[in-house]
Amino acid sequence: MIRDFEPIPLPDYAEKPLETMRQEAERFLGIMRQRHTVREFAARPVPRDIIETCLRTAGTAPSGANHQPWHFAVIGDPAIKSRIRREAEIEEQAFYAGKAGEEWLGALRPLGTDQDKPFLEIAPWLIAIFGARNSVSADGVTRKNYYVPESVSIATGFLIAALHQAGLATLTHTPSPMGFLNEICQRPANEKPYILLVTGYPAENAHIPRYATEKKPLEEISSFFL
Ligand code: IYR
């Protein structure tokens, strides 16, 4: 179906006075600085509706041609989580045994990661995030999607921020390759798994690598042209 341009007045925009803008920008920075990737999760359950609301936030992300080329497969079933752990650890064993190469393994050393992924069974929710190269609409027409990795990554960023704001911890896990997620999550071949987002409460004794708290200063990540 071809849709024509139909402009509507910009909804929802409310300009903030500059001082409020400053305060809000600072406040959000403060919130996001409190996000830390966690690898030790509590087994405590998290209600499904909270995950659903955060997924709705992810679904507001901008995307190529507004095609919204993402799919979030949300896994709470312990048997499926075990299967994912088993498959992921097979890949990770090969990765850490040398497939990654010395340089990559060296880069990961300060993070302290290894091939054991118990969090894949412990955390209450695993969110497998897929990007669709093309989509088939209800009327059976296949349409190509655009900027799929960019779109999926932006939506994932929204999701991570939403889960953090809700009070949950996440781990952006990327077993590689992770084609096994298509079969387990029953996703078609035109969809590529990008990230397995592990979500739940952090374990009571959770640690993070100090290295992960070292964020580049503004001067290093930006340049201004005035
Ligand atoms: N997928 C592996 C390795 C890994 C790779 C990167 I790049 C990281 O930032 C962290 C881990 C694993 O999950 O252990």
What is residue 187's predicted lDDT score, i.e. its pLDDT? 97
For residue 178, the enclosing domain spans 40-202
- On whether residue 225 sits in a domain, the answer given is no
CB 169: neighbour CB atoms within 10 A? Answer: 23
Stated pTM of the model: 0.97
pLDDT above 90 coverage of the chain, percent: 94
Report CA(105)–ligand 1 centroid distance (Å).
Answer: 9
Please report the atom of ligand 1 found closest to the CA of residue 115.
Answer: 14
Report CA(108)–ligand 1 centroid distance (Å).
Answer: 7
Structure tokens at 200: 């739940």
**pLDDT reading at 84 higher than 90:** yes
- On whether residue 9 sits in a domain, the answer given is no
The number of helix segments (H) and strand segments (E) in the chain equals 8, 6
What integer is the mean pLDDT of 16-43?
98
- On whether residue 2 sits in a domain, the answer given is no
What is residue 59's predicted lDDT score, i.e. its pLDDT? 98
- Longest CA pairwise span in the chain (Å): 57
SS3 content of the chain, % helix, strand, coil (to 5): 45, 15, 40
Structure tokens at 192: 């590529």
Structure tokens at 33: 């600085």
Q: What is the dihedral of CA 37, 49, 135, 7, to 10 degrees?
A: -100
- On whether residue 122 sits in a domain, the answer given is yes
Structure tokens at 138: 């209800």
What is residue 175's predicted lDDT score, i.e. its pLDDT? 87
Report CA(127)–ligand 1 centroid distance (Å).
Answer: 17
Report CA(89)–ligand 1 centroid distance (Å).
Answer: 12
Ligand 1 mutation pick, 39, 105, 108, 114, max ligand atoms within 8 A of CB = 108
Indicate the number of domains in the chain: 1
Residue 159 CA to residue 19 CA, distance in Å, equals 28
Task: For the chain, give the mean pLDDT.
Answer: 97
What integer is the mean pLDDT of 38-60?
98
Residue 50 CA to residue 44 CA, distance in Å, equals 14
pLDDT digits (tens, 9 = 90+) for 116-173: 999 999 999 999 999 999 988 788 889 999 999 999 999 999 999 999 999 999 999 9
What is residue 130's predicted lDDT score, i.e. its pLDDT? 98
What is residue 180's predicted lDDT score, i.e. its pLDDT? 96
Cis bond upstream, residue 177 (ω within 30): yes
- On whether residue 44 sits in a domain, the answer given is yes
What is residue 140's predicted lDDT score, i.e. its pLDDT? 87
β-bridge partners, 122 = none
Please report the atom of ligand 1 found closest to the CA of residue 174.
Answer: 1
Atom 2, ligand 1: residue with shortest CA distance: 175
Which run of H or of E encompasses 122? helix 119-122
Which run of H or of E encompasses 81? helix 78-94
User: Backbone dihedral region of 203: left (phi > 0), alpha (psi from -120 to 50 degrees) or beta?
Assistant: beta
Q: Which residues line ligand 1 (CB under 6 A)?
A: 92, 95, 108, 111, 113, 173-176
Report CA(44)–ligand 1 centroid distance (Å).
Answer: 25
- On whether residue 108 sits in a domain, the answer given is yes
What is residue 136's predicted lDDT score, i.e. its pLDDT? 84
- On whether residue 161 sits in a domain, the answer given is yes
Structure tokens at 129: 């995030």
pLDDT-based confidence at 182, cuts 50/70/90? very high
- On whether residue 165 sits in a domain, the answer given is yes
pLDDT above 70 coverage of the chain, percent: 100
What CATH number is given to the structural domain containing 131? Answer: 3.40.109.10
Report CA(51)–ligand 1 centroid distance (Å).
Answer: 24
